[in-house]
Amino acid sequence: MPFRSPFPDIYIPKVDILTYLFPPHTQPSETPIWIDAKNPKLSLSPAQGLRWVKRLGYGLQRLGVMKGDVVMIYTPNHVFVPVAYLGIVGAGYAFSGANPIYTLPGKSLHIFYASFCGELTFVEMVHQIKNTEAKVMLVHPTMLKTAVAAAQQAGLPKSRIFQFSDEETQVVDGVPDWRQMIGSESEGEQYSWPKLSPKDSTTTVATINYSSGTTGLPKGVCVSHHNLIANIEQTIFMRDQQMPYTSQNRPQERWIGFLPLYHAYGQLYVNLMAVKLNVPVYILKQFVYSDFLQTIQDYKITHLHIAPPILVMLSKRPETKDYNLGSLNYVLCGAAPLSKELQNDVSRRFDVQINQGWGMTEVTCGALHVPGGVNDDSGSVGQLDPNTECMLLDDDGKEVRTGDPGEIYIRGPQVCLRYWRNEEATKDSISDEGWLKTGDVAICDDKGYFWIVDRKKVTISHNTAVN
pLDDT in tens, 19-34: 999 999 999 999 999 9
CATH number of the domain within which 449 lies: 3.40.50.12780
Q: Is 460 contained in some domain? A: no
Q: Tell whether 313 and 439 lie within a shared domain.
A: yes
pLDDT of res. 1: 84
Show which of 148, 167, 195 is a domain's final residue.
Answer: 195
Give me the DSSP letters along 418-451.
EETT-HHHHHHHB-TT-PEEEEEEEEE-TTS-EE
- Confirm whether 367 is domain-assigned: yes
Do residue 112 and residue 186 come from a single domain? yes
36: part of which helix (H) or strand (E)?
strand 34-36
Percent of the chain at pLDDT > 70 equals 93
Count of domains forming the chain: 2
Is residue 158 domain-shared with residue 239, that is, in the same domain?
no
Q: Please give the full DSSP string across 221-287, using - where no structure is assigned.
A: EEEEHHHHHHHHHHHHHHHHTT-SS-TTSPPP--EEE-S-TTSHHHIIIIIIIHHHHT--EEE-SS-
Q: What is the pLDDT of residues 135-179, one digit of tens each?
A: 999 999 999 999 999 999 999 999 999 999 999 999 999 999 999
Residue 467: inside a domain: no
pLDDT one-digit tens code per residue, 35-87: 999 999 999 999 999 999 999 999 999 999 999 999 999 999 999 999 999 99
Residues 69 and 213 in one domain: no
Reported pTM: 0.94
From CA 206, how far away is CA 200, in angstroms rounded?
A: 11
Q: What is the pLDDT of residues 191-250, one digit of tens each?
A: 999 999 999 999 999 999 997 654 567 899 999 999 999 999 999 999 999 999 988 899
The verdict on 35 and 78 lying in the same domain is yes
Confidence of residue 457 (pLDDT cuts 50, 70, 90): low
- Alpha-carbon distance 212 to 306, whole Å? 20
236 and 321 in a single domain? The answer is: yes
Q: What is the pLDDT of residues 319-341, one digit of tens each?
A: 999 999 999 999 999 988 899 99
- Looking at the structure, tell me whether residues 37 and 8 fall in a common domain: no
Q: In angstroms, rounded to a whole number, what is the distance separating the alpha carbons of residues 296 and 287?
A: 13
Q: Is residue 92 domain-resident?
A: yes
- Asked if residue 450 is part of any domain, the answer here is yes
Q: Is residue 290 part of a domain?
A: no
Distance CA 293, CA 386 (A): 34
The answer to whether residue 96 sits within a structural domain is yes
**292 assigned to some structural domain:** no
| Same-domain status, 247 and 116 | no
* Residues forming a β-bridge with 175: 172
Spell out the alpha helix ranges (H) of 64-158: 81-90, 111-117, 122-132, 144-154
Predicted confidence band at 396 (pLDDT cuts at 50, 70, 90)?
very high
Return the higher-pLDDT residue of 385 and 218.
Answer: 385
| Same-domain check for residues 186 and 306 | no
pLDDT of residue 122: 81
**Percent above pLDDT 90 for the chain:** 88
Q: Which helix (H) or strand (E) segment is 190 a member of?
A: helix 185-190
Confidence class for position 419, pLDDT limits 50, 70, 90:
very high
Separate counts of helices (H) and strands (E) for the chain = 15, 21
When the pLDDT of each residue in the chain is averaged and rounded to a whole number, the result is: 92
Same domain? 160 vs 224: no
| 89 and 225 assigned to the same domain | no
Q: ∠ at Cα 94 (91, 97), nearest 5°? A: 120
Clarify whether residues 160 and 232 are in a common domain: no
Range of the domain at 122: 17-195
End-to-end alpha carbon distance in the chain: 27
pLDDT recorded at residue 215: 53
Among 195, 221, 239, identify where a domain stops: 195
